[in-house]
């Protein structure tokens, strides 16, 4: 979340604009663009960016009354799955194993659908022999990191996570202002996986000791947002200009100075799910949130640059009935603050333990599945929420394709199809 601009913050969306806008000079598309998506490329030189400090940790705040309404709905309505909105997921992968993790026993459901989270604590050998970096640099933590955005009037920071070899998912409000038009979209974006430290007025445009991450940093080549988000008309299924069904964005990363994407540097990527994957036939599950909140840190010297983990029960309003669920969202309890926006909401987080009877495999077994990117909240009651990955009024299709493969349903499928198809991500090895 970029600093939660209280309820006065407005989301920018335009369902009235059919298709998408591309800002890339002479780039030529061989594939038809995915409707409803907007692509942006860097428009500022590294030397021309404004001073990074002070910057804004972005986030959106909603009044307590919104969560009160959702609590009443959660206690009285059992969300029923629209039969046309079937849950699904694509698994993640780890370059150290070179295999897709699609089995094991890190589970959020038993066979009787009682929520729980069980994961092995051990990870890979830390990239740095440093206490602050040890855990963040292990898999699957290292698939998340801090995101820096350059705007025309300064810097902002959020959280993002890898869902491909060089593809990030984050929140749209991290990259643009709701209903703010194309000029509100970020000019440059940088990603620091596993960031653990920051000193002085460093800049993420280059690897240095001020912006400390065990893997270095990556600059973005393109970022894809819902067209409706920045349009004056806005997106459908919105509340108060803040809570919405499509606060999602995709970022493609350039190769670094060593000609590597994060995958080649030893960082895996999360899987992602849509249409209530992991919630089963009910409305509750347990999820893990990863973020870089500005008010929290390992100690007083690194607040905002410490990776923070939250585990909580989560309510998912994904009914096909717009009266019951006018916004397709889920929410959970969390102490995290602005800066955590865009961070992954993960089902079955952790490394899979090896199991033997009487341990059993439950339903929805896929580990490390991202189902949302943190979007909004109210800090006084420690409640956060995110847009639903899946079919919405603006992105109604059950499957979107691009780059010769399927990317899933709804908003997340459409944005990834655009990134990996017409924008060339799959052909360039950035996707999967």
Q: Quick one: pLDDT at residue 88?
A: 79
Q: Quick one: pLDDT at residue 120?
A: 44
Mean residue pLDDT across the chain: 77
Rg from Cα positions in the chain: 20
Residue 175 contacts by C-beta under 8 Å, 6 or more apart in sequence? 40, 149, 185, 186, 189, 223, 225, 249, 251
How far, in Å, CA of 400 to CA of 118, rounded?
A: 32
Q: Quick one: pLDDT at residue 281?
A: 65
Helix-strand-coil percent breakdown of the chain, rounded to 5? 10, 30, 60
Q: Quick one: pLDDT at residue 174?
A: 95
Between these two residues, 267 and 90, which has the higher pLDDT value? Answer: 267
How far, in Å, CA of 384 to CA of 75, rounded?
A: 18
Q: Quick one: pLDDT at residue 84?
A: 63
Q: What is the pLDDT of residues 273-306, one digit of tens each?
A: 999 888 876 678 889 999 999 898 888 877 888 8
Q: Quick one: pLDDT at residue 73?
A: 57
Q: What is the pLDDT of residues 72-88, one digit of tens each?
A: 556 554 445 555 677 77
Please give the DSSP secondary-structure letter assigned to residue 319: -
Query: Is residue 24 over pLDDT 50?
Result: no
Q: Which two tokens stand for residue 146?
A: 């801090």
Q: Quick one: pLDDT at residue 100?
A: 38
Highest mean pLDDT of the ranges 127-136, 226-235, 279-288, 351-360: 226-235
Query: Is residue 37 over pLDDT 80?
Result: yes
The CB-side HSE value for 357 (13 A sphere, CA atoms) comes to: 0
Q: What is the pLDDT of residues 378-397, one digit of tens each?
A: 888 888 999 989 999 999 99
Residue 309 contacts by C-beta under 8 Å, 6 or more apart in sequence? 141, 288, 289, 290
pTM of the model: 0.82
Between these two residues, 321 and 232, which has the higher pLDDT value? Answer: 232
What are φ and ψ of residue 42, in 5° steps? Answer: -55, 140
Cis peptide before 54 (omega within 30 of 0): yes
Q: Which of 100-109, 210-219, 259-268, 285-294 has the lowest mean pLDDT?
A: 100-109
Q: What is the pLDDT of residues 104-136, one digit of tens each?
A: 333 334 343 434 444 443 344 455 556 666 778
How far, in Å, CA of 432 to CA of 429, rounded?
A: 7
Query: Is residue 413 over pLDDT 50?
Result: yes
Q: Provide the pLDDT confidence category of residue 44 given band limits of 50, 70 and 90.
A: low
């Amino acid at each position: 979340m970029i600093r939660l601009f209280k309820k006065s913050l407005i989301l920018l969306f335009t369902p009235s604009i059919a298709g998408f806008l591309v800002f890339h000079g002479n780039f030529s598309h061989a594939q038809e663009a995915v409707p409803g998506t907007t692509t942006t490329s860097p428009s500022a030189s590294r030397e021309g960016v404004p001073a990074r400090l002070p910057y804004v940790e972005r986030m959106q705040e909603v009044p307590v009354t919104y969560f009160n309404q959702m609590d009443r709905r959660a206690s009285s309505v059992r969300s029923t799955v629209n039969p046309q909105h079937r849950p699904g997921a694509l698994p993640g992968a780890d370059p150290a194993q070179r295999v897709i993790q699609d089995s094991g026993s890190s589970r959020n459901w038993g066979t009787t659908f009682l929520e729980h989270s069980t994961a092995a604590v051990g990870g890979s050998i830390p990239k740095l022999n440093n206490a602050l970096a040890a855990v963040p640099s292990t898999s699957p933590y290292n698939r998340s990191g801090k995101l820096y955005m350059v705007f025309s009037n300064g810097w902002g920071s959020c959280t993002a996570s890898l869902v491909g070899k060089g593809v990030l998912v984050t929140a749209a409000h991290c990259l643009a202002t709701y209903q703010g038009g194309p000029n509100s979209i970020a000019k440059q974006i940088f990603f620091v996986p596993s960031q653990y430290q920051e000193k002085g007025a460093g800049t993420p445009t280059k690897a240095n000791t001020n912006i400390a991450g065990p893997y270095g940093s990556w600059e973005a080549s393109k970022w894809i947002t819902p067209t409706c988000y920045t349009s004056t008309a806005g997106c459908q299924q919105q509340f108060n200009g803040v809570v919405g069904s499509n606060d999602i964005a995709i970022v493609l990363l350039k190769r670094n100075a060593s000609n590597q994407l994060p995958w080649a540097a030893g960082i895996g990527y999360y899987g992602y799910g849509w249409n209530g994957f992991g919630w089963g036939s009910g409305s509750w599950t347990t999820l893990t949130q990863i973020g870089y909140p500005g008010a929290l840190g390992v100690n007083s010297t690194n607040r905002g640059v410490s990776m923070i983990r939250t585990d909580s029960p989560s309510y998912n309003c994904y009914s096909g009935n717009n009266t019951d669920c006018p916004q397709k969202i889920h929410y959970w309890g969390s102490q995290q603050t602005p800066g955590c926006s865009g961070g992954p909401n993960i089902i079955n987080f952790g490394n899979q333990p090896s199991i033997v009877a009487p341990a059993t495999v439950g339903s929805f077994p896929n580990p490390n599945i991202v189902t949302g990117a943190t979007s909004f909240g109210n800090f006084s009651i420690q409640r956060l929420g995110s847009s639903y990955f899946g079919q919405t009024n603006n992105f109604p299709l059950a499957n979107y394709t691009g780059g010769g493969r399927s990317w899933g349903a709804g908003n997340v499928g459409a944005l990834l199809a655009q990134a990996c198809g017409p924008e060339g991500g799959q052909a360039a090895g950035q996707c999967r």
